[in-house]
Amino acid sequence: MNMNPRVTQRIAFSALLFSTLLVMVPVGMVIVVILKQGAGAISWEFLSQMPRSGMRAGGILPAIVGTFCLVLGAVCFALPLGLLAAIYLSEYSKDTFLNRIVRLAIINLAGVPSVVFGLFGLALFVNFFGFGASILSGSLTLGIMILPVIITSSREAIDSVPQSFREVSLSLGATKLQTIRHAVLPHALPGILTGTILGVGRAAGETAPILFTVAAFYLPRLPGSIFDQVMALPYHLYVLSTQVPNVDSGIRYGTALVLLVIVLLMNAIAIAIRAHFRSKKKW
Amino acid sequence: MVSDARGPAVKIGVESLTVSFSGKPSLRDVTLDIPSHEILSIIGPANSGKTTFLKTLNRLIDFIPTSRVTGRVLLDGRDVREDDDPVSLRRQVGIIFALPVPLPTTVFENVVYGLRRQGKNGKKELDALAEKALTDAYLWDEIKDRLDEQAMKLSGGQQQRLCIARTLAVDPQVILFDEPCSALDPISTAKIEEAMLKLKKNYTIVLVTNNTKQAARVGDRTAFFLMGSLVEMGLTSRMFTSPRDKRTDDYISGRFG
């Protein structure tokens, strides 16, 4: 069949546009639904008080605090480790068999299902190292889960620093380590930061890795040390939705809204940082 | 190879230097002496090994993993490749690249970059050294009120002189220029050439250039490289009036390359 190329083009264009709009629908609906059902529950009391009467009333403060503790712990562990690994892989490693295996391992780490990380954390941190179900175990498990994100984005950031900066630095008599410290890392920092924040957003929203390693079912007090259990937003949401009968749906959606806002906020900060430094970048 | 009689004191002696990348030779058996306090111009068409030659002199070539270097490079009679650590060599042999690459920080921080890496941090000391380096690079008067501006904001010619100042601040003995004016307009080029002519009193200069006229204007001696080999080297005045090799004659008069 011979069709007018102009008509063909129109049809193709419409199909592409339609698909793109369709992608936006679920995102928009998630936000709208959660906002509509949860906004009513949000109040200062909801954010700042302990849960009461078997989580059917009161606030979600311990879950918010717990999530922040876990995320902070995960970053404290994963950022230094991931950044050092990224520096080694980008600046020092040569293309040997061993290094190709390491790179393959990192890619595969990103593909491991999160519940497997949870079981791994249970076996290694909770039982083998004897940390018990604690903030420490949960943070380490989440940290391992976000390592690939941090390593990959740090490597991209480091690799995108122009080679000429390194040559200039070395030619001025700087050592290789000084060159990395003063001519590479400062210019890779925005990218490293962006990747870290995206990792944090992911860590904040995951349920499976904290399921066996830290999350408390119902613990209406704030943690006192890193060996305490805590409640966490995603697990709290799971518990409210499946384990506790007769919960007011406002509390459920309110919890979901808080979690969603935290994760979206992280992403927004990452995007803002990237945009800010991209506009300042001059090479 | 044809060469004039030995000139004054030799700063850098190059003996049978051969460099290959992944087995492909880029420089073949180059032997030449670079005299102290002179400007040696190196001319030749693309892929004749000029930049490779420069990078061998201060061992930036070490960072190209596929490279293999044989032969000797003697700085004041000492083989530069004997040392495990090329850092002190690079402080003695500075390099200016074809495209000015200011680091994305202030003018001042660019000038003192090498000094800070040596552990010099005193404000007064750095101020004095920066002023001296910028003055020697003929940039101080233009820029003394703009030291805290981003270096990327300077014009191309100013950026290149900033790169020269940055190299001078480390107080090298030899400065390598790798086509330093290829991205510059004629006025900026003239300023760089003027700077080079004054700098040779205190430094030994090697200038790689694609511009044979520039070689004729500033070089005390000129070397002609072709396909990785040194064809001819001699006093510039002689090379450009009566080249001894036909290929040199052809290149200088623009019949090829």
Q: How much is the average pLDDT of B27-55? A: 92
Confidence at residue B33, expressed as pLDDT on a 0 to 100 scale: 93
Q: Which of B85, B113, B153, B171 to mutate to test the interface with A (most CBs of A within 10 A)?
A: B113
Q: Does a structural domain hold residue B257?
A: no
Q: How much is the average pLDDT of B215-224? A: 93
Q: Is the predicted pLDDT of residue B7 greater than 60, yes or no?
A: no
Q: Does a structural domain hold residue A7?
A: no
Q: How much is the average pLDDT of B197-203? A: 92
Q: Does a structural domain hold residue A81?
A: yes
Q: Does a structural domain hold residue A36?
A: no
Q: Does a structural domain hold residue A51?
A: no
Which of A136, A140, A137 is closest to A74 using CA atoms? A140
Tens digit of each residue's pLDDT (9 = 90 or more) over A79-128: 999 999 999 999 988 878 888 898 889 989 888 999 999 999 999 999 99
The count of structural domains within chain B is 1
Q: How much is the average pLDDT of A225-248? A: 87
Confidence at residue B1, expressed as pLDDT on a 0 to 100 scale: 46
Cβ–Cβ of B99/A170 closer than 8 Å?
no
Confidence at residue B8, expressed as pLDDT on a 0 to 100 scale: 67
Tens digit of each residue's pLDDT (9 = 90 or more) over A177-220: 999 999 999 999 988 988 898 899 889 989 899 988 988 888 88
Q: Does a structural domain hold residue B39?
A: yes
Which residue from A166, A172, A281 is facing B117, i.e. has the nearest CB? Answer: A172
What ipTM was assigned to the predicted interfaces of this complex?
Answer: 0.88
pLDDT range class, residue B158, cuts 50, 70, 90: very high
**Mean pLDDT over all residues of chain B?**
90
Q: How much is the average pLDDT of B145-153? A: 91
Tens digit of each residue's pLDDT (9 = 90 or more) over A124-177: 999 999 998 899 999 999 999 999 999 999 999 999 999 999 999 999 999 999
Give the list of residues 6+ apart from residue B128 with CB closer than 8 angstroms, or none.
Answer: none
Q: Does a structural domain hold residue A2?
A: no
Q: Is the predicted pLDDT of residue A276 greater than 90, yes or no?
A: no
Give dist(CA A21, CA A13) in Å, integer: 12
Range of the domain at B239: 2-252
SS3 (DSSP) at A116: helix
Q: How much is the average pLDDT of A253-273? A: 90
Confidence at residue A173, expressed as pLDDT on a 0 to 100 scale: 92
Lowest mean pLDDT among A228-232, B80-84, B155-159, B230-234: B80-84
Q: Does a structural domain hold residue B97?
A: yes
Q: Does a structural domain hold residue B119?
A: yes
Which residue from B90, B99, B103 is facing A173, i.e. has the nearest CB? Answer: B90
Confidence at residue A183, expressed as pLDDT on a 0 to 100 scale: 94
Q: Does a structural domain hold residue A23?
A: no
Range of the domain at A253: 61-280
Q: Does a structural domain hold residue A264?
A: yes
Q: How much is the average pLDDT of A254-260? A: 92
SS3 (DSSP) at B137: coil
Contact A165, B103 (CB under 8 A): yes
> Any idea what the CATH number is for the domain that residue B165 is in?
3.40.50.300
Cβ–Cβ of A172/B65 closer than 8 Å?
no
Give the list of residues 6+ apart from residue B160 with CB closer than 8 angstroms, or none.
Answer: B96, B100, B180, B181, B183, B184, B188, B192
The count of structural domains within chain A is 1
Q: Which of B55, B87, B92, B109 to mutate to test the interface with A (most CBs of A within 10 A)?
A: B87
Cβ–Cβ of B118/A170 closer than 8 Å?
no
Q: Does a structural domain hold residue B193?
A: yes
Confidence at residue A281, expressed as pLDDT on a 0 to 100 scale: 67
> Any idea what the CATH number is for the domain that residue A275 is in?
1.10.3720.10
Tens digit of each residue's pLDDT (9 = 90 or more) over A108-122: 988 899 999 999 999
Q: Does a structural domain hold residue B134?
A: yes
Rounded to the nearest angstrom, the minimum Cα separation between A169 and chain B is 8
Confidence at residue B2, expressed as pLDDT on a 0 to 100 scale: 46
